[in-house]
Amino acid sequence: MTIRLICLDADDTLWHNMRHFHDAETALVDMVRPFAEAGVARQALETCEARNLPLYGYGAKGFTLSMIETAVELCGDALTPALVTKLLSAGRSLLAHPVELLQGIADTLERLSERGRLVLVTKGDLLHQEAKLAASGLDERFSGIEIVSDKTADTFRRICERYGVPAGDMIMAGDSMRSDVLPALQAGAWAAYVPQPGAWSHEQAAPPTETERYRLLESLADLPALIDQLNGLDHEGGRSLSIAGTDNRR
């Protein structure tokens, strides 16, 4: 087994994302405060988002529609055009904020590119994800870009077929247990979980307990060394006698 295909998530794996959604959610909570306390408003939004995912998919535009729908539910006839305008402005800010890379990402991608082909696998609105990737300046570092409506085991099977590698020669790394880790493992690939603070509850799930193809990393910067270990190499490219102790599940 040799890891030849390295798939990476984008949002909150390469650049900051969720904190901007938290800011928009806080704006909604403040706007509807006369009609609902903060906890009620946040729960209503979460319920609305989950209900709308099959219709709107992932991303800022669907989130904005869910914010407006939540405000309608909480405010009723008291919802004013001015409040809707503020909600639209909060949603628009999600589409226009600067792309801020996580610390050390450029260097990490350089090290990873020495170990295999890099493929970006991200979900959400096509136009917005393309815009963020272009703004990040990272697009030329990837051999392939896969923007999908959702990440499933079939998604990763198709990626393996498209790039001509067996699933056992691919690793997927990202901050979502639900979208990055579990479906990649189901497809027969390796998976590295790189959790970030403030993760969306929808993307959380119980970690796998019975697979040797799963690793928990403190940082994406740890991925090159993990790949070396899985390939039986030391950091200088020489053969390693043992890769014992690489399973750092918690």
DSSP-assigned letters across all residues of 135-167:
HHT-GGG-SEEEEESS--HHHHHHHHHHHT--G
Mean pLDDT of 147-157: 95
Order of strands, edge to edge, in the sheet holding 214-216? 144-148, 117-123, 5-8, 170-174, 190-193, 214-216
The chain-wide mean pLDDT, for the chain, equals 89
Q: Is the pLDDT reported for residue 214 higher than 60? A: yes
| DSSP-assigned beta bridge partners for residue 123 | 148
Average pLDDT value for residue range 87-97: 91
Tell me which residue of 248, 240, 4 sits closest to 118, measured CA to CA.
4
Q: What does 185-211 look like in DSSP terms, one character per residue?
A: HHTT-EEEE---TT--GGG--PPPSS-
Q: Which residue has the higher pLDDT, 40 or 198?
A: 40
For the cut 80, the answer to whether the pLDDT of residue 232 exceeds it is yes
Residue 200 has pLDDT above 80, yes or no: no
Q: What percent of the chain has pLDDT over 90?
A: 80
Residue 249's pLDDT is what? 29
Phi, psi of 151 (to 5 degrees): -110, 115
DSSP letter, residue 32: T
Q: Is the pLDDT of residue 167 over 90?
A: yes
pLDDT category at 175 given cuts 50, 70, 90 is very high
Structural domains present in the chain:
5-15+100-230 (3.40.50.1000), 18-96 (1.10.150.240)
Q: Which residue has the tokens 């938290």?
A: 22
Distance CA 177, CA 187 (A): 14
Mean pLDDT of the region 54-61: 90
Confidence (pLDDT) at 238? 43
Closest CA to 65 of 29, 33, 28, 104: 28
Q: Is the pLDDT of residue 109 over 70?
A: yes
